[in-house]
A and B are shown apart, each in its own frame.
Chain A
Amino acid sequence: MIMDLYNYWVVIALMMIGFYSVIVRGNLVKKLIGLNIFQTSVFIFYISVGKVDGGTAPILVDGVTLYSNPLPHVLILTAIVVGIATLALALALVVRIKDAYGTVEEEEIREIDEQ
């Protein structure tokens, strides 16, 4: 039972690891790595949902009748693009924060802002 759904357990584990890192880490780059793991877990969730037991890739071939559902895969391609755009923008922000504040540690930025 548990092993049958192992991919969903992996999703939950990754999601929690990512979410934890976003909240706990003080380093802005590490936060983003956490955020990315969090997003990736959702991608795996969608891909797992689309898999049909015994199904093959949805390409018309003689003698095959059972296909996996391609729609979640297509959706997640879009979400991956969104994820990359988010990460790129976030890293660009971190570079500019480093230039402006001289640090990428949340604590130190807060201290500088309070002065």
Chain B
Amino acid sequence: MVHLPVLQVVIPLMAAPALLLLNRPWQSWLLTCVVTITAFAISGSLLGTVYSSGTISYELGGWEPPWGIEYRIDLLSAYVLLIVSGVAALVAVASRQGLDADVASDKQPTLYVLFCLCLAGLLGIVATGDLFNVFVFLEISSLSTYALIAMGPHRRALWASYQYLVVGTIGATFLLIGIGFIYSLTGTLNMQDIAARLPLVDAAHTVHTAFAFIVVGVCLKLALFPLHFWLPNAYTYAPSMVTVFLAATATKVAVYLLIRLHYSIFGPNFALDVLPLNTLFLVLGLAGVFAASLVAVQQPNVKRLFAYSSIAQIGYMIVGLGLGTVIGLQATLLHLFNHALMKGALFMAIAGVVYRVGGSDLAHFAGLGRLMPWTMAAILIGGLSLIGVPLTVGFISKWYLVLGALEAGLWPIAGLVLIASVLALFYVWRIVEVAYFEAPTSLTEGAREAPLGMLLATWVLVGANIFFGIDTELTRQTSELAAQHLMGVQP
């Protein structure tokens, strides 16, 4: 059991070549399900261990850090591992039918290979305590993501993938430059060790340069407005199941990375007198929330609409970071978890519509309220959660965000957050209107309820949206302790 931190990453990584050799649609799916569910079980067990006995440090190959690579699971990493592997397991289960809508059956085994590689990369970023390891895992997950997006049914998927590849590579290379500066200053790559040595370094300019490169590089990956332009196309043209996975995990891991690098390596108060980073985060976050929500309202395609909504939701997370307080950081961590649940449920339900109706334009939703009642109910509840209606997870994260803003004395920000929620109401309403108040057209006539596997995965996520909206114990406590730990506050 002592090897669980590394097994978390190695099992999906090793599954990839095994799947490549297996190369049969049905068996590949089964193996992917087993692997992802195992990963989920491991992350659940890791979270339990961290709760009971504190941070886990695992020495790869028995080499003691800082010489060897260390995997370090603290409360924050265990929390993010849980949501990433949980969504991955649900996506894997639903993929049996979900992939048929937009991937030919002879291509599906390859997709499972890429899926497992991507999962291994994402889990690796979260589990590792070594800075260069972060770069390698980031590239493993990114490269497989580019290929996954390119498997979309429309030729625009290729163009979307190419654009993301160029932007993603620039982002990762920026991160690499930053890591290079830090290594040349401290002579170490272990995050703990860097955090201990960095305050002693007498070269403020170089440290600031490194910090700037790292922040911009990671912000490209997490699609912070105005560095978001790759995201809408990528989410819209990727196969529907891939969109579910990416929307619920990839940007969340990037947000995790930003928090980890900012707070655990540079420290919460780093360079605040030189770089007005918190103000920058507040301004860009809010600008992203409003700009992306306003664009989302006008989109004729539902996948693209929710892609823009994702950019807006990332804006909320960044606003939380910009507050620079424990409650602000807690709001970010809560929204990171909750947004994965919301967007997972929404995109999974949309995948069901794509499967039955064959598209995700608004016209494809006409009259589906009666034809696919369970799927549309899932979109309705997911949408309510996105708006932040009480009894859903969306309410919890917005509540903490507003609380954080008020506590910091920034009531205009609290007001803007609430106004932005109204914008979410507008774009969710457009879908509800078409689905419930319009008669089925020739496009949607005869559509049946989504297949059982997909419906099940959708409703597990919808259930989680409601469950964590009412019983907030797990998310609230974990995020609070993690935020206090990161800010260096004793509980």
A contact residues vs B (CB 8 Å cutoff): 19, 22, 28, 31, 35, 38-39, 42, 45-46, 49, 71-72, 75, 78-79, 82, 85-86, 89-90, 93-94, 96-97, 100-101, 109, 113
Contact = CB atoms under 8 A, between A and B. Distances in A.
A96 B155 CA distance: 9
Contacts of A94: 162
Interface of B: 132, 135-136, 139, 143, 146-147, 150, 155-156, 158-159, 161-162, 165-166, 169-170, 173, 176-177, 180, 183-184
Contacts of A79: 135, 176
B162 A35 contact: no
Contact of A93 (B135, B136, B156, B161): B161
Contacts of B176: 42, 79
Given A49-B183, A86-B169, A100 B158 contact: yes
Nearest to B167: A22
Contact of A38 (B146, B150, B158, B170): B170
Nearest to B159: A109
Contacts of B146: 89, 93
Contacts of A42: 173, 176-177, 180
Contacts of A22: 166, 170
A89 B147 CA distance: 8
Contact of A101 (B155, B165, B184): B155
Nearest to A74: B132
Nearest to B132: A75
Contact of A86 (B135, B143, B155, B183): B143
B99 to A, nearest CB: 19
B183 A72 contact: yes
A45 B180 CA distance: 8
Nearest to B179: A75
B77 to A, nearest CB: 22
Nearest to B150: A93
B151 to A, nearest CB: 11
Contact of B159 (A31, A72, A89, A113): A113
Nearest to A34: B166
Q: Which of B136, B150, B158 has most chain A Cβ within 10 Å?
A: B158
A46 B177 CA distance: 8
A85 B180 CA distance: 21
24 contacts: A22-B166, A28-B162, A35-B166, A35-B169, A38-B170, A39-B169, A42-B173, A42-B176, A42-B177, A42-B180, A45-B177, A72-B183, A75-B132, A75-B183, A82-B136, A82-B143, A85-B143, A89-B146, A90-B162, A93-B150, A97-B162, A100-B158, A101-B159, A113-B159
Nearest to B162: A93
Contacts of B147: 89
